Amino acid sequence: MARGPTPSPVVIGLSAVVVAVRDGEAMVLTVRSRGDGEPASEPAGLPFGPFDPDGHRTFELALRAFVTAQTRFDLGYVEQLYTFGDRGRDAPLADMGAGADSAPGARPSRVISVGYLALTPQAVETAAPDTAWAPWTRFFPWEDWRQGRPAAALLIEDALRQWADRAPPAQRELRLARARLAFALDGAPWNEERVLERYELLYGAGLAPEAARDRGEATGERSDALRAALGAPMISDHRRILATALSRLRGKIKYRPVVFELMPEAFTLLALQRAVEAIAGASLHKQNFRRALERGGLVEGLGRIDADTGGRPAELFRFRREILSARPVSGLSLPLLRD
Amino acid sequence: MARGPTPSPVVIGLSAVVVAVRDGEAMVLTVRSRGDGEPASEPAGLPFGPFDPDGHRTFELALRAFVTAQTRFDLGYVEQLYTFGDRGRDAPLADMGAGADSAPGARPSRVISVGYLALTPQAVETAAPDTAWAPWTRFFPWEDWRQGRPAAALLIEDALRQWADRAPPAQRELRLARARLAFALDGAPWNEERVLERYELLYGAGLAPEAARDRGEATGERSDALRAALGAPMISDHRRILATALSRLRGKIKYRPVVFELMPEAFTLLALQRAVEAIAGASLHKQNFRRALERGGLVEGLGRIDADTGGRPAELFRFRREILSARPVSGLSLPLLRD
DNA sequence: TCAAAAGTGTTATCCTTACACCCATGT
DNA sequence: ACATGGGTGTAAGGATAACACTTTTGA
């Protein structure tokens, strides 16, 4: 293994997608980027920090430590998502931490970022400055199908068709096929799990503002409506990490009982359903949802509650955590409701 | 961000689990560790190498390059598995690559390893020295349930019960519950996907030889039969990576048509079934397997073949790769056969 | 002729989906 | 009374699991 010129330093960054559900809306913990006197429209980022090879025994411990430090918030359920190492996707952290005080003109350190998903039962307002919960529909407006196909999806459909038309004939069909599958064009079924695929398509098509940014160009002309439909960009590749998290969570909810990590100790069945709907971005069939719950034996009734919205008071339930160690247990089925 | 003493260097290692199926057996590409004149019983490892932050634009390109260099073998399908960063699980690469020529007594570099899964259609014998295909039952004898519950699983069951009995009473039930779920004790159902969970349990129980090794101790007394049942250890944490790969593959085969990445262009339905069985470690019901295939429209008949084993010649089929871009497509159902 | 595999048919059962309806409470 | 949500029943269709049987070849 010949030694060439000294290799560039490698920095490992950890990013966390912290998810909570607050009155029927799925929220993500965001950090304003170096929030000084900059305009409020500066893109947000995920909580992140450098991994210290000396101080931290495992990634997960490191993650918990710095998220608590940065946001004064304790994490519960945590799982690793993916490790991103592409050069050229606006390496996160490149201008902070290990690289912050390097001489100008020095070779930038290569940054590898390990993304994590964390779930917490309540979106407690943190006292930490520059930290805020944001609904993730802000970053992915096209992912919310709870009221039927969202306007954002329609605008994106048009933009993607134009993108396909701009291609040389040989590529046109390929582009269309990708768009059709990802965004349910021409009657194709919508698959809520393909969040990452959709975001990557938008990035590849140059529609996500991050694409132009990473190339050092200005974003092309576009209408206000389309801009809104494309969602708020994030610093670095954080929106990609967020998309990965949503994909993973939407998939996992079906085969592991992870929703309960987002619920308080006692909850009504409708609250549970609303949480699942917020994550899945789709409306569910009430009766069938409850029947599936029963079959699984996942929950157990308690007493009652009143202060609900309108209507008859609902019974409170709790997650039967015991069964996790008693038998293999799958997640919730998603009996979709078509409007 | 105060600068303490200079931080330890971080080295990123890439490991590949390269899988192929050869006459009904699932094989993994292994590398003999620094194979000099050492005894043949030296543990094997996975193909691995350091990631060069200057030369490589993405992990995947780096992986393909060094696997080809090391094994003279071209990868097809590739996906990232997981990034391992725990200190104390015998950091891979610590004594090679970037760390090889460091002064004795110098602080060892912290090694992070990114595991990848790769699938190839044929287990071509590579000309590369110290590289060999090994059936993965060698490393996980308890995972092969094609002929019913394997003897290895029974021996491990006993060992795990003893491990639970050795615990203080408070922990006894917890240990038993974990063992029950993972290894299907007391009538619990076997879940073929939990390969990693099972390996980690064996590691945690001190049964996997790697556990004692990582603590710098000698492996405890055990019978030859039990030793065989526990499978061949691997260097570093490679067996953990291998377990991760098998878990992932066994899961993925059901919801993505990945088996076909392991098949030649034309194959018989029985060959396909045998491949799935080798991966899943379970026998399948022939008729129901074929019916499910038909329903999915995944394959298309061609002509015929003869040179088969005994019996009537079977028709050859091919995977209809076109459908991948035409519609969302799920994997194969596993109609398990109970003996 | 027999072993070994290829193929075909059919049935019971369960899960999913869908539709329709009644109950309890606050305004 | 009526809006809002809680809660129950039931029937149709499709997928799965399980059974038994015929066909075609090579040795």
Partner residue opposite A12 with nearest CB, options B109, B112, B191: B112
Are both A212 and A317 inside the same structural domain?
A: no
Average pLDDT, chain A: 86
User: Are B174 and A325 in contact (CB < 8 Å)?
Assistant: yes
Is B236 within the bounds of a domain? Answer: no
8 A C-beta contact, residue B15 and residue B238:
yes
In angstroms, the separation between the Cα of residue A124 and the nearest Cα of chain B is 27
Highest averaged pLDDT of the listed ranges A23-37, A49-63, B12-26:
B12-26
CATH number of the CATH domain containing B131: 3.90.79.10
In a domain, A255, yes or no: no
**B286 CA to C15 C1', in Å?**
23
Q: Are residues A164 and A282 in the same domain?
A: no
Q: In the prediction, which pLDDT does B211 show?
A: 95
> Which residue in chain B has the smallest CA separation from A189?
B328
Q: Which residues of B touch A (CB under 8 A)?
A: 1, 3-4, 7-12, 50-54, 57-59, 80, 82-83, 85-88, 96-98, 100-101, 109-110, 112, 114, 174, 177-178, 181, 188-189, 191, 325-328
In chain A, what residues touch B85 (CB-CB under 8 Å)?
Answer: 12, 51, 58-59, 114
Domain assignment present for B1: no
**Do B277 and B224 have their domain in common?**
no
CB B318 within 8 A of CB B266: yes
Same domain, residue pair A18 and A113:
yes
Domain boundary among B107, B136, B165: B136
- Closest residue in B to A194 (Cα) is B328
Within a domain: A191: yes
pLDDT score of B76: 87
CATH of the domain at B267: 1.10.10.10
Q: Is strand C less than 7 A from the beta carbon of A206?
A: no
Q: Give pLDDT, residue B334.
A: 87
The verdict on A152 and A219 lying in the same domain is: yes
At residue A275, the pLDDT reads 94
CB–CB of A110 and B54 under 8 A? yes
pLDDT at B325: 84
**Total domain count for chain B?**
3
Instruction: Among B136, B157, B186, identify where a domain stops.
Output: B136
> Residue A84's beta-bridge partner residues?
A113
Identify the residue whose Cα has the smallest distance to the C1' of C8: B287
Q: What are B141-145's contacts with CB under 8 Å, separation 24+?
A: B141/B228, B141/B229, B141/B230, B141/B231, B142/B183, B142/B198, B142/B229, B142/B231, B143/B192, B143/B195, B143/B198, B143/B246, B143/B281, B144/B281, B145/B190, B145/B192, B145/B281, B145/B282, B145/B283
Nucleotides of D under 7 A from a protein CB: 3-10, 15-20, 23-27
Q: What pairing do the DSSP bridges indicate for beta strands B267-268 and B299-304?
A: unpaired
Q: Is residue B182 part of a domain?
A: yes
- Of the candidates A114, A136, A158, which is a domain's last residue? A136
Q: Which positions ≥6 away from A209 have C-beta within 8 Å?
A: A219, A230, A233
Chain A interface, best mutation among B48, B60, B112, by max A CB count within 10 A: B112
Q: Considering the domain boundaries, does residue B330 fall inside one?
A: no
pTM, full prediction: 0.91
Q: What is the pLDDT of residues A131-174, one digit of tens each?
A: 889 999 999 999 999 988 999 999 999 999 999 999 999 999 99
Longest CA span, chain B: 75
Question: Do residues B191 and B285 share a domain?
Answer: no
Percent of chain A with pLDDT strictly greater than 70 = 86
Same domain for B23 and B128, yes or no, is yes
- The secondary structure element, H or E, covering residue B174 is helix B169-183
Q: How far apart are CA B207 and CA A268, in angstroms?
A: 44
**Structure-block tokens of residue B43:** 């543990």
**Per-residue confidence in pLDDT tens, chain B, 339 aa:** 434 455 667 788 999 999 999 888 999 999 986 555 455 568 999 998 888 888 888 899 999 988 888 777 778 899 999 999 888 776 544 444 433 344 444 456 678 899 999 999 876 766 577 888 999 999 999 999 998 899 999 999 999 999 999 999 999 999 999 999 999 999 888 999 999 999 999 999 999 999 999 988 998 889 999 999 999 999 999 999 999 999 999 999 998 999 999 999 889 998 999 999 999 999 999 999 998 888 888 998 887 776 666 677 888 999 999 888 888 788 888 888 766
- Eight-class DSSP state of B318: E
Residue B16 in domain: yes
CA of B178, C1' of C9: distance in angstroms: 44
Interchain contact, B100 vs A58, CB within 8 Å: no
Answer yes or no: do A98 and A177 share one domain: no
Instruction: Give yes or no for CB of A306 within 7 Å of strand C.
Output: yes
Most B CBs within 10 Å: which of A110, A176, A194, A198, as the mutation test of the B interface? A110
Three-class DSSP category at A283: coil
If asked whether residues B157 and B126 sit together in one domain, one would say: no
Distance (Å, rounded) from C-alpha B10 to C-alpha A9? 8
Question: Which letter does DSSP use for residue A325 in this model?
Answer: H
Confidence of residue A274 (pLDDT cuts 50, 70, 90): very high
Residue A315 lies in a domain: yes
* B286 lies in the same domain as B317: yes
Q: Do residue B170 and residue B81 come from a single domain? A: no
Report the side by side order of strands in the sheet with A299-301: A267-268, A316-319, A299-301
- Domain range for B299 is 261-325
CB atoms within 10 A of CB B51: 25
